[in-house]
Structure 1
C-alpha cells in the first residue's frame, strides 16, 4: 500500500520545518559534492554554488514538478582530471560546457523522436561495464590518497591509520545507522575521520580561524577571468561520458517517479529533466565547477521523509549557495586531510563499480552469452587499462571515453542485439526492478 505523502510537490512547509528539511538535503549531498572538486583540484566552494544554481535552474526547467537535487558528478572525475592535464582548468570547463550542450541536444531528440533510440544505443550491457570502469579506474586514486603524503610517493602509517578509521566509520554508518543518518554515511565518515585526524595532529585549523565569514569563491568565468580554448582531445574525453550518464539519469527519474507516485518521464517529460541536467552543467562550466547530475542520496531523503516539496529542494539549493560564499566553510573543507578523503573514497568508488554490476543484474543481462561477455570484457580492459587512440597530434581518444565508444559500436554491430520496440516496456521493467529493491 502506498504511503500517504506528508508534504506535496507544490506545498510550502511552515518556515521552521522548511529550514530543517532543507538542511537534511544539504547534508545528504554535501560530502559527495565537495569530494569531486577536491579530487580534481578545483574549488569545492564553487562546486557548492554551481550545485545550488544548477538545482534552481533544474526546478525551473522542469516546471517545479520534479523534487530532485543536483550535485557534482562522479562519472566525470577521470575525464576532468585528464582534461585538466591537457588544457588546465580552463580546458576542462570548455569540455564540461560541451557535455552540457550534448545533454540539450539529446533532450531535443527525445522531445521529437522519443527515447527508444537512446535506450538502443546505450543498453545496460554497455552502460553497466562503463560505470564499473568509472569506479575501478579511480581505485588507485583512493589508495594513493589513503597511503601517501600528498604529492609524494612516501608512505605514511599515520595517514593510512586515519584513512582506515574513516573507512570503518563510513561502513558502520552505512550498515547500522537508520533513518536520515543512514542516508549520509559519506558525511558521517568525513566528520569522524576529520575528528580522528585532529587527534593525530595532522590538521591545521589556523586558516579556518583566519578566514573571513564571507568570501567570494575562486570563480573561473569565460571571457572575464580566462579566454576559452577549444580542444578536440578534451571534447572526445568528456562528451562520451555525458552519453553514458544519460542512462543513469533515466534510472534516477524512474526511481523518483516510483517514490513520488507520478510518472515524471511523461510529465513534465524526460526531455525537460535531461535539459535541466544539461543547463545545470553549463551553468557550472561558466563558474568553474564540475558537471552536475541528479543525486541518489537526495532521492533517498525524499523516499525516507515522504516530503516531495520542490520548495524544500530549492531551500537546500539556496543554502548551498550561501555555504559557497562562506570563507570559513571553504577553509574548513580545504583543511580536510587527503587521507580522510581517501578513506571515504575506498568505499565510494567501490560502490560506483558495484552499481555498474547491479545494473547488469537488475536488467537480467546474461554474461554467459558470448555477445554480452565480449562487450563487457572489452569495455573493462580498455577502460581500466588506459588504452587510447592518437587520432592526430592534438586529438586523443582515451580511457573511459574510448571504452564507451567501442562498447556502443560493438553493441550495434555484433549479431543478436535485442531491439527495444516499445519504451513503455523499458519503463515497466524499470518499475518492476524498483519494486524489487524497495521490497
Structure 2
C-alpha cells in the first residue's frame, strides 16, 4: 500500500483510528487544526525566548513534521514543534557574546550528532539508549537544563514588567490545572493572550512603563504593546527582516567549538524525549515501535539540522500532540500532514509573525518562569517514573556534582581561551561520574555513605 493511502474508517464511539487509517477528510482537517492549536503556544514561545523568529519556526515545524513522518514510514504519528532542550545553552551563548548565527550553527551540529546517533540506535537496537543514558542520567541532565534557565527569567524577562509577569504566571498555573480537557493543554497559548490583553489594559490605565528591554543596556520609557511592526507587515510572504541582534531572520550558521559544546547536552534531552514519546505512542496504539526508535531519533536530528541551516529553531516530538491523540484516540498520520500544511501556511504570513514578535516582555516573563521550571521538573518526573533509587549512593553521589555544576554555572578554564561551564560541564560530570561508579559500590558501604550524606 502507498504511504499516502489511508484506509477510510467510520469507528464506533471509543474505537481507535490507527496510523494507517483516517476519518473522512472533513473530520481529518478538523483534527489537524486541533493539532496545530496544541503545538502552537510552545512552538512560537520558545523561538521568542531564544531570540529567533517565530514565523520561521512555525513554518519549519510543518516542514520538519513531514520529514519525520516520511523517515518513519508513517508508523509513528508525531508533530515536531520547537524544542526547549537548547534554551539554556542559547542563553549561555548570548551571554558570552554569541549572536543568532552562532546559536543556529551550534544547534545544527547538535542536530547532526542526534541524527548520527539515530542511525546507530537503528542498527544497534533501542536497548543501547538505556545502557549509555539510563533514566538516572537523563533525568539529571534534563533537570539541570531547566533549572539553569532561572537567571534568564530573573534578569531578562521578569524585570521588564513584574506585575504583568505575575498576573500571567498566575493565569497560566490556574489554567493548566483548572481548565477542562483540551483547554488545559493549550494553557500557554491562552496565557499569552491573557498577558497581551492585560498589557494593553495597563497601557491605557497606567501609561508607558520604564524598563530595560531584552538586548538593551539601559532602561527606556515604552508602551507594553507596540504594533507598529504588525501594521507594516505583509499578509503573504516569506519570513524576512532582522532579529533583535541584527542578524537576518533567514541566515546561514556560524560555528564555534565553545558554543557547540554548550548545546551538545541538549542532545541527551532530545533522545530522552523521543524515546519516551515513541514508547507512549506504542502503548496507545498497541504497535511495536522499537524498530522505528532509531528512525524517530535520527529524523528529529535531521529536522533540527535542516531548520537551523536556514536560521530556524530546533525541533522535537511534542507531548501536547500526543496528549491530543490520547484524548481523541485518533492516531492517523493523515491528520499530522494536515497540521503540517497549516503550519507552513501560517509561516508564510508575515503579519502573523509580527504579532508574535510583538509579545510584551512581561508576558514572556510570566510564561517562562513556569515553562523553565517545568523543564527542570521533567527530569524529576523521569526519575519517579523509572523508580530511580536515591538510597543507592551511585545515583546520589554520582549525579550530585554534575547537577550543581550545571545549575550553578561552575566553569572549567582550559588553556587561554577555552572555557567549559554550565550545562555542558554539568552534563559531562553527570555522565562520567555515574558510569565511573556504577556497579562499583560495595553493598555493605551503601548505607554508611547514604547516612553520611
Q: TM-score, normalised by structure 2?
A: 0.84
* TM superposition shift of 1:219: 8.4
Equivalent of residue 180 in structure 2, options 178, 181, 192: 178
Deviations 1:261-313 (A, max 9, x none): 212223xx111111110111111112211211111111101111111111111
Shift of 1:227: 6.0
Structure 2: distance between partners of 1:297 and 1:417: 40
SS where residue 74 of structure 1 aligns? coil
Contact 1:170-1:344 within 8 A present in 2 as well: yes
Q: Does 1:32 align with 2:42?
A: yes
Moved over 6 A (4+): none
1:397 — aligned with what?
420
Question: Which structure is higher in helix share?
Answer: 1
Q: In the alignment, does 2:128 pair up with 1:111?
A: no
**Mapped partners of 2:411, 2:156: distance in 1:** 25
Query: What corresponds to 2:447 in structure 1?
Result: none
2:88 corresponding residue in structure 1: 78
Aligned residues of 2:88 and 2:146 also touching (Cα < 8 A): no
TM-aligned CA distance change 1:393 to 1:324, over 3 Å: farther
Q: Is the contact made by 2:19 and 2:331 (CA closer than 8 Å) also made in structure 1?
A: yes
- In 2, Cα distance between the equivalents of 1:189 and 1:213? 25
2:370 corresponding residue in structure 1: 347
Mapping of 1:20-419 within 5 angstroms? 20-84=30-94, 85-149=96-160, 159-201=161-203, 202-218=224-240, 228-266=253-291, 269-416=292-439
CA distance in 2, matches of 1:148, 1:136: 19
Which moved further from structure 2: 104-113 or 50-59?
Answer: 104-113
Aligned to 1:307, the other structure's residue is in SS state: coil
List runs of 5+ in structure 1 lacking aligned partners. Answer: 150-158, 419-439
Aligned with 1:8 (options 6, 18, 24): 18
* Aligned-residue offset at 1:11: 2.8
User: Does the Cα contact within 8 Å between 2:141 and 2:265 map onto a contact in 1?
Assistant: no
Judge conservation of contact 2:36–2:343 (CA < 8 Å) in 1: yes
The answer to whether the 8 A contact 1:119-1:247 is kept is: no
| Structure 1 residues 417 and 128: CA distance shift in structure 2, 3 A | farther
**Structure of larger gyration radius:** 2
> In 2 relative to 1, CA 209–397 (structure 1 residues): closer, same or farther, beyond 3 Å?
same
More off after superposition, 137-146 vs 300-309: 137-146
Equivalent-residue separation in structure 2 for 1:256 and 1:277 (angstroms):
16
Report the CA distance shift for 1:22/1:225 in structure 2 as closer, same or farther (over 3 A). Answer: closer
8 Å contact kept, 1:122–1:244: no
Q: 2:14 & 2:118 partners in 1: Cα distance?
A: 32
Partners of 1:145 and 1:339 within 8 A in 2: no
* Length-normalised TM-score, structure 1: 0.86
Q: CA deviation at 1:207?
A: 2.7
For residues 129-158 of structure 1, the C-alpha deviation after alignment (integer angstroms, 9 at most, x for no partner) is: 221112211122223455323xxxxxxxxx
Q: Conserved in 2, the CA contact under 8 Å of 1:59 and 1:65?
A: yes
Distance 2:440 2:190 in 1: 44
Contact kept? 1:6, 1:306, Cα under 8 Å: yes
State whether residues 47 and 289 of structure 1, in contact with CA within 8 Å, keep that contact through their aligned partners in structure 2. yes
